[in-house]
Amino acid sequence: MNRLARMLGSLLIAVTPPGTAAAQQPATPPGLARGLDLERQGNFAAAAEAYRGVLGARAGDPAALLGLERALVPLNRAGELVPVARAALRAGAPPAVGYGVLVRTWGSAGSADSLRAAVEEWARAAPGDEAPYREWVSSAIGRGDRAGARAAIAVARQRLGRADALAPEAAQTAGGEGSWTVAAAEWLAAIRQMSGFRFAALAMLSPTPERLRPDVLRELERDASGEGRRLAGTLLARWGDPVGGFRLMSASLPGDNLQAVERLNQFIEALQLGAPNTAARQAQGMALEAITARVSGGAAARSRMLAAQAYADAGDRESARRMLDGAVDSRTTGSEASSGTGAAVSVLLSEGKPEAAERRLEGARPSLPADEYASLARRVAWGWARTGQLDRADALLRSDSTVDGLAVTGRIALLRGQIRNAADRLRAAGPYTGSREDAAARASLLALLQRIEADTLPALGRAFLALEQGDSAAATVQFGAVAAGLGAEHGGAELRLWAGRIDLARGRVAEAERWFRAADTEAAPATAPAAELELGRLLISLGRRDEAVATLEHLILTYATSALVPQARRALDEARGAVPRT
Amino acid sequence: MKRREFLHAAAGAAAVLPVAGLPGLRWRSMAPWILVPMDDAQTDHLKAYGLAYRALERGTRVEWFINYRGGSFLLPAEAATARDAALNGIATEGIDDGRVTRIRGEIQQGNMDAVPLEKAPKVAVYAPPNAAPWDDAVTMALDYAGVKFEKVWDPEAMGGKLPTYDWLHLHHEDFTGQYSKFVLNYAGAPWLSDMIQRNTAVARQLNFPNVPAEKRAVAQRISAFVEQGGFLFAMCTATETLDLALASEGVDIAAAYADGSPMDPDAASRMHWDRALAFQNAQLELSPTTPSYSDIDGHQVNAPDRRQPLGSFTLFGFSAKIDPVATMLVQNHRQVIPDFYGLTTSFTRRTLKPAVTILADEPGAPWAKYIHGEHGQGTWTFFGGHDPEDPQHQIGDAPTDLSLHPHSPGYRLILNNVLFPAAKKKELKT
């Protein structure tokens, strides 16, 4: 089954109205229960016999008919279903079940004429119902026959007298064919019929090629109901402009607060699916602030704190402060105190105010769970460390003997230039402490420190401190100075590679290139392949493909046993245009 | 040497190969030869073809040991070859003269042969200028393997440029000029509008009344290219429509949207099949909305009433010493390969001309997958389907990344075709 058919299948399952699996189901008859058991065991032949037994007694039993279909299809005996389904219909089986089985059976057999006849018969038995046509379309899509699907949709619309009939199926077919603006219009029609299609629309329109996105946004914004603008806003957020997306969607929020909050929460969920960058956190803060204005009591306090946290993460201190100031009155105890303190500590630390953060933390200590307090204390300690007050930082962590504590004290030791001490602590913290990013950063630091023979290097500590304080330009200069005093094989080359990565992350590509070239020395064979790989990728990104090819070829040929060779070959293929860019 | 002037084999393959220690062999190692295994020991089958091709480009003589370890290559152990293999992650084995002698003995005794490859063929891909590089299996295979090629299209074909190439591949073009018969079903799609605009413009530029007439003229140039000794390789719908275009001189087989007049209802009976390369006596699809041309294609992927499911196809085993060309074209480390759809997926046996060689088929099915034949002094090879690693390929699908399929047996068949024109033809023993 192709991707579109699978998507359609999952979508149809997703939008099946709740309650169809009735809450008050009668006890399963023994024959059916036996069939289900046999199905679970994978004994489809016996299951089919069990279901036939039930149908022998009650020819119209829908559960037994569907069970028989499930059992016969994997046995490649679907053809036996036709007379059984016919008998079931004569005995009063619901048309959706009896004809549904017939349509699927003819579809899988590739018998287009019989399939169509069954659809027509079903449509006569259930006039005005989309189900017969939907099954027809599903069958066509399942065979990868988009033209057939479109033809079936056209017939359905003509027969039902509704231009928006089978809109979700039409939307997916159009999207699959690359007709994205048509797909957008169809999705809007689908959402108007059932709001639950919002998520499907978002998921299916997200892959719109970049050059066609403005057309899709224009199509959606034409919708007068506001639904289109809200969908456009969410899509815009997914496509890299979350703040612009929020502004677009928030301008057309429903007047009803409950509905507006629902849409805002959907927007936040959509943001959480994307990359967790600053713009996304800013947009999240804006959406949470908009929710705060529409709810009251504890809910308002919670969303206010979350908004403050999001703004703080995004570096928007003014907005974070505004949220926290408003929280004074609504702040309560318990979990809200925890999230409130967390947000306040984050904001204060982001403002470079560890003293105020510590005061806030100590003030809230009686209402905080111990592990929450310890976690925040580590953050405050790191806040002290970043200001250079390392003693204050250590003081806060004196009683913290956890692996998380070791990870932080290791980094503080590094800021002091205590190379051995830092390496020991970071190693003891292990590979799983903290977030994945923390763990990766720790492993990277350890790789650097292990190459340095000196026990202490205060200048290196100062370089890392400059880096933590955001002065990456000074940090790279200091890394270079420290590197100059070390042999290439004893950390000098690794420090230059480190400096290059910092410059690259800051967009200083010329400096990054210089560092990578400096780190690429045969005297440091453990570092040189990594430096060449970084350099090769940088050159590809700059469009200097010939140089990239030469660099990557040198890596592969000179360091043939390096673990980086497969990555280098992949980059080499990209540089040569031998594979699509990823 | 001109490509048509195949030389007869000399005393034996070994005699034409350089010997370790002679000038030109700068790579000093214990082993004077490099064997590129093409069985399961190979780490990148597709790039291995590029290795052989580039060696030929450098003027190095290569031997293709057909049917030996999946169709392995033997090259002198030159530094450039060793470097190329290392860069591309291609498995090689350094072997000495004694081992080479033993391999030759093994080849002599079994259904195998050593085919000297002499010259890197000059490759052209027929594709419109805006063709996405990732929407054609051959272009992808050539790019991935590192085989150089040039793109040509209608102006170059009509301008007489084809004879300057050895090997020509046809992108999945519709030579009946009906835009793959997508016009009614995909009306309004930007890619289709662009295709129509581009083809109409070039037909006008070349002074043809409509696109079907212009495409037929291009098809005739391609046929002439083969007749004069060129090697033609086509996949997907280019196979079927090329022959339909060639056979339809004076017969309107195009729908009204393509040339302004409806298809001749008696077209099938008026076709000149003697002008076609591979097919004969096909029934034509009369509906302008059904994206199918005739019953040449066995699978009919876009005709719901006739569509056949995918199975797998099996490569034929040929006698390497008696029929080296067919043997070269089926070199592989797998003999049974999963099938894949294209606008033309397969070739109904009933419509094949008697002289056509079937290289692969689905046992028991009424169609072949991979066929070959001669036309004048040249040869053609047709391979049904669109992308061997994307069996259900649909418009707009993500491009296939061949670095994820370095052992693709389907793509190997494409690359066999690229190398086989490099072979020095041996005198047939029958």
- pLDDT over 90 (residue B91): yes
B20 band by pLDDT with thresholds 50, 70 and 90: very low
Return the domain boundaries, chain B. Answer: 13-117, 123-422
* DSSP annotation of A522: T
Nearest CA in chain B to A554: B87
- pLDDT over 80 (residue B9): no
Contact A578 B146 (CB under 8 A): yes
- Which two structure tokens, joined as six digits, stand for A234? 């969410």
Query: Contacts of residue A553 in chain B, CB cutoff 8 Å?
Result: 87
Q: State residue A28's pLDDT score.
A: 62
Evaluate whether B152 touches B145 at the Cβ level (below 8 Å): no
- Which of A4, A145, A553 is the closest to B87 by Cβ? A553
Q: State residue B254's pLDDT score.
A: 93
C-alpha–C-alpha distance, residues A170 and B144, integer Å: 37
Q: What is the mean pLDDT of chain B?
A: 88
* DSSP annotation of A578: -
State mean pLDDT over B45-59: 97
Three-state DSSP class for residue A190: helix
Nearest CA in chain B to A139: B304
CA contacts within 13 A on the Cβ side of B99: 11
Q: Distance from B213 to chain A by nearest Cα, in Å?
A: 27
Per-residue model confidence as pLDDT tens digits over B243-277: 999 999 999 999 988 998 888 988 989 999 999 99
* Longest Cα separation, chain B: 71
Q: State residue A364's pLDDT score.
A: 85
The neighbour count for residue B186, using CB atoms within 10 Å, is 23
Q: State residue A74's pLDDT score.
A: 82
Nearest CA in chain B to A106: B305
A23-37, A555-569, B184-198, B379-393: which range is least confident on average?
Answer: A23-37
Angle, nearest 10°, between helix axes A180-193 and A197-205? 170
Going by their DSSP bridges, the two strands B93-95 and B167-170 should be labelled as unpaired
Residues of chain A below pLDDT 50: 1-25, 329-331, 333
Which of B356-360's residues contact partners 24+ apart within 8 Å by CB, and which partners?
B356/B278, B357/B326, B358/B316, B359/B315, B359/B316, B359/B326, B359/B329, B359/B330, B360/B313, B360/B314, B360/B315, B360/B316, B360/B330, B360/B413
Q: State residue A12's pLDDT score.
A: 32
How many inter-chain contacts (A to B, CB under 8 Å) are there?
77
- Which of A553, A569, A577 is the closest to B89 by Cβ? A569
Q: State residue A305's pLDDT score.
A: 84
CB of A224 within 8 Å of a chain B CB? The answer is no
Contact A178 B191 (CB under 8 A): yes
Evaluate whether A28 touches A15 at the Cβ level (below 8 Å): no
Q: State residue A176's pLDDT score.
A: 82
Q: Distance from B402 to chain A by nearest Cα, in Å?
A: 7
Q: State residue A455's pLDDT score.
A: 94
Which residues touch A376 (CB under 8 Å, ≥6 apart)?
A341, A342, A345, A361, A368
* DSSP annotation of A566: H
Nearest CA in chain A to B401: A579
Which of A466-472's residues contact partners 24+ apart within 8 Å by CB, and which partners?
A467/A502, A468/A385, A468/A386, A468/A415, A469/A386, A469/A387, A469/A388, A472/A502, A472/A503, A472/A506
Q: Distance from A179 to chain B by nearest Cα, in Å?
A: 6
- Which of A112, A570, A578 is the closest to B305 by Cβ? A112
Interface test with B, best of A210, A579, A581 (most B CBs within 10 A): A579
Contact A580 B401 (CB under 8 A): yes
Q: State residue B15's pLDDT score.
A: 31
**Chain B residues contacting A via beta carbons under 8 Å:** 83, 86-89, 133-134, 143-144, 146, 185-186, 188-191, 289, 291, 301-302, 304-305, 307, 341, 392, 394-396, 399, 401-403
- Which of B86, B185, B403 is the closest to A556 by Cβ? B86
- pLDDT over 80 (residue B16): no
Output B13 or A322, whichever has higher pLDDT. A322
Query: Contacts of residue B302 in chain A, CB cutoff 8 Å?
Result: 145, 147
Best CA proximity match to B373, nearest among B222, B226, B244, B162:
B226
A268-277, A315-324, B181-190, B315-324: which range is least confident on average?
Answer: B181-190
Evaluate whether B35 touches B64 at the Cβ level (below 8 Å): no
- Which of B291, B304, B395 is the closest to A143 by Cβ? B304
Evaluate whether A502 touches A472 at the Cβ level (below 8 Å): yes
Lookup result for tokens 């339909």: B244
pLDDT > 70 fraction of chain B, expressed in percent and rounded: 89
Does the domain made of B123-422 have the CATH classification 1.10.1200.120? no
Per-residue model confidence as pLDDT tens digits over B209-238: 999 999 999 999 999 999 999 999 999 999
C-alpha–C-alpha distance, residues B356 and A412, integer Å: 78
Q: State residue A56's pLDDT score.
A: 92
Interface test with A, best of B84, B87, B306 (most A CBs within 10 A): B87
Per-residue model confidence as pLDDT tens digits over B268-307: 899 999 999 999 999 998 888 788 899 999 999 887 778 8
Contact A110 B304 (CB under 8 A): yes
CA contacts within 13 A on the Cβ side of A181: 15
HEC string for chain B: CCCCCCCCCCCCHHHHCCCCCCCCCCCCCCCCEEEECCCCCCCCHHHHHHHHHHHHHCCCCEEEEECCCCCEEEEECCHHHHHHHHHHCCCCEEECHHHHHHHHHHHHHCCCEEEEECCCCCEEEECCCCCCCCCCHHHHHHHHHCCCCEEECHHHHHCCCHHHCCEEEECCCCCCCCHHHCCCCCCCCHHHHHHHHHHHHHHHHCCCCCHHHHHHHHHHHHHHHHHCCCEEEEECHHHHHHHHHHHCCCCCCCCHHHHCCCCCCCHHHHCCHHHCCCECCCCECCCCCCCCCECCCCCCCCCCCCCCCCCEEEECCCCCCCCHHHHHHCCCCCCEEECCCCCCCCEEHHHECCCCEEEEECCCCCEEEEEEEEECCEEEEEECCCCCCCCCCCCCCCCCCHHHCCCCHHHHHHHHHHHHHHECCCCCCC
Contact A572 B87 (CB under 8 A): yes
Q: Distance from A155 to chain B by nearest Cα, in Å?
A: 15
Percent helix, strand and coil across chain A, each rounded to 5? 75, 0, 25
- In this structure, is the dihedral angle defined by the CA atoms of residues A567, A573, A577 and A580, taken in order, positive or negative? negative
Which residues touch A201 (CB under 8 Å, ≥6 apart)?
A171, A187, A188, A190, A191, A231
Q: Distance from B390 to chain A by nearest Cα, in Å?
A: 11
Q: State residue A27's pLDDT score.
A: 58
CB of A144 within 8 Å of a chain B CB? The answer is yes
- Which of B143, B291, B403 is the closest to A147 by Cβ? B291
Q: Which residues pair with B115 in a beta bridge?
A: B64
Q: State residue A581's pLDDT score.
A: 67
Evaluate whether B32 touches B96 at the Cβ level (below 8 Å): yes
CB of A570 within 8 Å of a chain B CB? The answer is yes
Lookup result for tokens 């100059």: A484
Which residues touch A369 (CB under 8 Å, ≥6 apart)?
A338
* DSSP annotation of A432: S
Residues making up chain B, counted from first to last: 430
